[in-house]
């Protein structure tokens, strides 16, 4: 494994020098082989050929679900069962926090990638704690508030620590969790929600101490926040905290309330990071529901290969695209058949005790796979390079922008067409690929000539993104990508690369409000998160030939240097593959 570049770098969050991670990666390789042997022959070939990519194959022959939105409301407000122990609704905030992390940790062993929780599910319990304190200390409100804040601070901190220190060997590293924070006026406990959100932001800004006591940015939990109009006035202090947090920790990410409502039937909900937003679904009473739901898996198309294979005309390109999409569809159907007939008791916490459903032990999960309840994602990589091949110009030119939109619309149409065939929630997914952009490029390079410079770099551009080398300002980038977000609204993400804005937080706030008007989902990337434990330098470390160095004291001991970057969505501390590393170095600043 030590010599296998692919195994070592397939995901930058896997540090394969660690014993438990190496064991997990070895197991993954074995399961991946099993999946490869079980896939339909043409799908296997296309995957091995890198014209499509079946993501997370090491889970595919087992009935694991992908990312999900945990129904924390139901689990906390009613009851759940863990390891045959019945757990009733908590009576204190501290118990609710503890139970939440236990739930996330358990679910980590039952699904792959992200578990997203809504933070407002905890608000009611903060009020319960307040009520209980008031019962005891009825004559001193100041003391009540002080004790309540002590409990809040201690338990938010505990949740942070637990998220970062409970390492699951099942998931090879941290517990992948997203905390979704929203201040909606419809929330009956909004006062308490705001208290929790503010505390989360304050602690995230402070950072977590590393082994040498230096506070630093941590990847987990990932924070995602709804950008809603009340942050402009009523809750502007929370907005200030969020902006400061973004400038220091590159999070929270923003979900625009305006765009969510516009694109999703006036609804607003959170993503199952990083496997997409959920699609529209109504229960028997016509109510839309966006939690208690999940993703089944992702397959992405190498659009550059489609362009390289197309000999002359657009028609050739679209014919090839359709045939690749058909292969993805076949892979998806394979996946759905693996999940079918799974009995609820095989993952009781998920399917019997509230995280996804409340079924009987012998019930199957088949009904959850159908009718848009869960999504099945069709991803795409490399529109920019595909256009370079076909037209000689990239996505950033107005002239060819329209062609790129046409490609994304066609892919969306394929999804809709499939849902008419089999209603399994096929949805379009702007892949935030990490390894795939490098491997697609490497494999195409082995067999094709360098057309219009597509192989001048070791990576392809993700989904509909404007390539990272294009000098473009943040506003224009958000504006151009927004058109694609509208079509690819089941998953889309726009990045803005920022230089130091710590002295100009107003600019960051203005840009956030511009994003509110244009984009469903956006992230701001800052380079200031590296830390040297020897001289307390905080900014960006020097990287050369995979070696790190502090530019201030020239420390090179890896244990003392924390390197933290956003590679393609979440933060990571391990260096990524060669292609993605090159991409990172070539990114231009947008503000
Ligand atoms: Zn240093």
In a domain, residue 553? The reply is no
Say if residue 351's pLDDT is above 70.
Answer: yes
Sign of the CA dihedral 197, 221, 224, 296?
A: negative
In a domain, residue 216? The reply is yes
As a whole number of angstroms, the distance between CA 275 and CA 299 comes to 11
pLDDT for residue 252: 97
pLDDT for residue 476: 95
As a whole number of angstroms, the distance between CA 380 and CA 371 comes to 23
Dist. CA 526 → ligand 1 center (Å): 19
As a whole number of angstroms, the distance between CA 431 and CA 378 comes to 8
Instruction: Identify which has the larger pLDDT, 544 or 84.
Output: 84
Dist. CA 572 → ligand 1 center (Å): 20
Phi, then psi, of 259 in degrees rounded to 5 = -70, -35
Q: What is the pLDDT of residues 477-534, one digit of tens each?
A: 999 999 999 998 888 899 999 988 988 999 999 999 999 999 999 999 999 999 999 9
* Among 348-357, 440-449, 524-533, 562-571, the least confident range: 562-571
| Chain position carrying tokens 């094709």 | 448
Dist. CA 183 → ligand 1 center (Å): 40
Dist. CA 101 → ligand 1 center (Å): 35
* Among 75-79, 165-169, 255-259, 511-515, the least confident range: 165-169
What is the pLDDT confidence band of residue 14, given thresholds at 50, 70 and 90?
Answer: low
Q: What is the residue-averaged pLDDT of the chain? A: 91
Dist. CA 557 → ligand 1 center (Å): 10
Dist. CA 537 → ligand 1 center (Å): 5
Token pair of 178, please? Answer: 């997203």
pLDDT for residue 545: 77
Dist. CA 564 → ligand 1 center (Å): 15
In a domain, residue 459? The reply is yes
As a whole number of angstroms, the distance between CA 16 and CA 23 comes to 9
pLDDT for residue 174: 66
pLDDT for residue 85: 96
| Residue 132, domain extent | 5-529+564-586
In a domain, residue 550? The reply is no
Dist. CA 556 → ligand 1 center (Å): 9
* Among 4-18, 144-158, 250-264, 563-577, the least confident range: 4-18
Phi, then psi, of 277 in degrees rounded to 5 = -80, 155
Per the rule left: phi > 0, alpha: psi between -120 and 50, beta: everything else, 207 is left
pLDDT for residue 10: 58
Dist. CA 538 → ligand 1 center (Å): 9
Dist. CA 530 → ligand 1 center (Å): 10
What is the pLDDT confidence band of residue 554, given thresholds at 50, 70 and 90?
Answer: very high
Rg (CA), the chain: 23
Dist. CA 327 → ligand 1 center (Å): 51
Identify any residues that bridge with 526 across adjacent strands, giving them in sequence order.
Answer: 498
As a whole number of angstroms, the distance between CA 109 and CA 356 comes to 14
In a domain, residue 591? The reply is no
As a whole number of angstroms, the distance between CA 572 and CA 580 comes to 12
Dist. CA 541 → ligand 1 center (Å): 9
pTM above 0.85, yes or no: yes
- β 222-227/253-256 pair status: parallel
Dist. CA 561 → ligand 1 center (Å): 8
As a whole number of angstroms, the distance between CA 2 and CA 4 comes to 6
**Overall number of domains in the chain:** 1
Dist. CA 528 → ligand 1 center (Å): 14
Q: What is the pLDDT of residues 198-217, one digit of tens each?
A: 999 999 999 999 999 999 99
Dist. CA 545 → ligand 1 center (Å): 19
Dist. CA 259 → ligand 1 center (Å): 43
For residue 213, give the DSSP letter. S
As a whole number of angstroms, the distance between CA 214 and CA 562 comes to 10
pLDDT for residue 13: 60
pLDDT for residue 317: 96
Dist. CA 200 → ligand 1 center (Å): 29
Neighbours of 444 (CB within 10 A): 25
Dist. CA 581 → ligand 1 center (Å): 22
In degrees to the nearest 10, what's the CA dihedral of 142, 144, 147, 152?
-110
Dist. CA 493 → ligand 1 center (Å): 34
What is the pLDDT confidence band of residue 172, given thresholds at 50, 70 and 90?
Answer: low
Q: What is the pLDDT of residues 180-194, one digit of tens each?
A: 999 999 999 999 999
Question: Which secondary structure element, helix H or strand E, spans residue 297, and what is its range?
Answer: strand 293-302
What does the longest C-alpha to C-alpha distance in the chain come to?
A: 83
In a domain, residue 537? The reply is no
| Chain position carrying tokens 């977000």 | 485
As a whole number of angstroms, the distance between CA 161 and CA 250 comes to 19
Q: Are 159 and 100 in contact (CB under 8 A)?
A: yes
- β 375-381/426-429 pair status: parallel
**How far is CA 5 from each of CA 1, 2, 9, 578, rounded to the nearest angstrom?**
8, 8, 6, 10
What is the pLDDT confidence band of residue 168, given thresholds at 50, 70 and 90?
Answer: low
Q: Are 273 and 28 in contact (CB under 8 A)?
A: no
Token pair of 462, please? Answer: 């993700």
Dist. CA 531 → ligand 1 center (Å): 8
Dist. CA 337 → ligand 1 center (Å): 53
**SS3 of 473, please?**
coil
**How far is CA 559 from each of CA 1, 344, 533, 538, rounded to the nearest angstrom?**
22, 44, 9, 15
In a domain, residue 552? The reply is no
Dist. CA 553 → ligand 1 center (Å): 4
Dist. CA 502 → ligand 1 center (Å): 21
Question: Helices 19-38 and 41-48 sit at what angle, rounded to 10 degrees?
Answer: 130
Dist. CA 247 → ligand 1 center (Å): 22
| Chain position carrying tokens 């244009």 | 518
Dist. CA 534 → ligand 1 center (Å): 5
Dist. CA 575 → ligand 1 center (Å): 19
Dist. CA 536 → ligand 1 center (Å): 6
Sign of the CA dihedral 276, 282, 288, 292?
A: negative
Dist. CA 560 → ligand 1 center (Å): 9
What is the pLDDT confidence band of residue 114, given thresholds at 50, 70 and 90?
Answer: confident
pLDDT for residue 170: 56
Cis-peptide into 274, omega within 30 deg: yes
In a domain, residue 558? The reply is no
What is the pLDDT confidence band of residue 381, given thresholds at 50, 70 and 90?
Answer: very high
Q: What is the mean pLDDT of residues 43-51?
A: 96
Cis-peptide into 376, omega within 30 deg: no
Dist. CA 210 → ligand 1 center (Å): 15
Of the chain, the end-to-end C-alpha distance in Å amounts to 41
pLDDT > 90 in the chain, percent: 73
The burial of 131, by beta-carbon neighbours within 10 Å (0-12 exposed, 13-18 middle, 19 or more buried), is given as exposed
pLDDT for residue 395: 79
CATH code for the domain of 401: 3.20.70.20
Dist. CA 535 → ligand 1 center (Å): 4
Dist. CA 246 → ligand 1 center (Å): 24
């Amino acid at each position: 494994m030590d010599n296998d570049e692919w195994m070592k770098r397939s995901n930058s969050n896997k540090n394969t020098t660690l014993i438990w991670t190496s064991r997990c990666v070895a197991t993954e390789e074995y399961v991946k082989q099993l999946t490869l042997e079980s896939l339909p022959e043409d799908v296997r070939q296309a995957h091995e050929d890198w014209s499509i990519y079946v993501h997370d194959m090491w889970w595919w022959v087992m009935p694991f679900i992908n990312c999900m939105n945990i129904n924390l409301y139901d689990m906390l407000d009613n009851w759940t069962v863990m390891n045959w122990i019945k757990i009733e609704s908590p009576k204190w905030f501290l118990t609710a926090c503890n139970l939440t992390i236990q739930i996330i940790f358990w679910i980590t062993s039952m699904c792959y990638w992200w578990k997203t929780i809504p933070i407002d599910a905890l608000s009611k319990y903060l009020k319960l704690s307040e009520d209980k304190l008031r019962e005891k200390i009825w004559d001193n409100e100041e003391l009540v508030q002080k004790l309540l804040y002590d409990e809040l601070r201690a338990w938010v901190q505990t949740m942070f620590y637990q998220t970062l220190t409970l390492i699951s060997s099942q998931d090879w590293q941290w517990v992948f969790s997203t905390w979704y924070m929203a201040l909606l006026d419809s929330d009956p406990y909004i006062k308490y929600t705001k208290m929790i959100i503010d505390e989360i932001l304050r602690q995230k800004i402070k950072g977590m101490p590393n082994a040498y006591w230096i506070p630093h940015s941590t990847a987990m939990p990932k924070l995602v926040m709804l950008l809603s109009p009340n942050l402009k006035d009523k809750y502007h202090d929370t907005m200030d905290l969020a902006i400061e947090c973004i400038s220091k920790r590159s999070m929270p990410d923003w979900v625009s309330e305006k765009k969510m409502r516009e694109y999703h039937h006036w609804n607003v909900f959170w993503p199952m990071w990083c496997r997409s937003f959920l699609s529209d679904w109504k229960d028997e009473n016509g109510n839309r529901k966006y939690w208690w739901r999940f993703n089944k898996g992702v397959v992405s198309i190498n659009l550059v290969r489609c362009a390289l294979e197309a000999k002359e005309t657009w028609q050739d390109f679209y014919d090839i695209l359709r045939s690749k999409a058909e292969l993805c569809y076949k892979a998806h159907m394979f996946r759905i058949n693996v999940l079918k007939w799974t009995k609820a008791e095989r993952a009781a916490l998920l399917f019997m005790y509230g995280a996804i459903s409340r079924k009987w032990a012998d019930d199957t999960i088949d009904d959850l796979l159908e009718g848009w309840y869960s999504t099945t994602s069709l991803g795409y990589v490399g529109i920019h390079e595909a256009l370079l091949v076909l037209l000689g110009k990239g996505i950033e030119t107005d002239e060819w922008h329209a062609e790129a939109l046409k490609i994304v619309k066609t892919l969306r149409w394929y999804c809709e067409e499939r849902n008419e065939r089999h209603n399994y929630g096929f949805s379009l997914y702007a892949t935030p690929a990490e390894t795939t952009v490098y491997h697609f490029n490497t494999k195409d390079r082995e067999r094709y000539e360098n057309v219009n410079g597509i192989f001048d770099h070791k990576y392809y551009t993700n989904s509909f993104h404007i390539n990272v080398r294009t000098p473009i300002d943040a506003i224009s980038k958000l504006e151009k990508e927004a058109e694609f977000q509208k079509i690819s609204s089941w998953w889309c993400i726009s990045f803005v690369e920022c230089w130091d804005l710590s002295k100009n937080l107003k600019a960051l706030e203005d840009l956030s409000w511009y994003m509110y008007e244009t984009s469903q989902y956006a992230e701001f990337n800052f380079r200031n998160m590296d830390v040297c434990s020897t001289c307390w330098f905080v900014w960006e470390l020097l990287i050369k030939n995979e070696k790190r160095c502090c530019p201030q004291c020239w420390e090179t001991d890896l244990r003392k240097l924390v390197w933290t970057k956003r590679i393609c969505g979440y933060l990571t501390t391990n260096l990524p593959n060669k292609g993605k590393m090159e991409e990172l170095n070539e990114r231009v600043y947008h503000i």
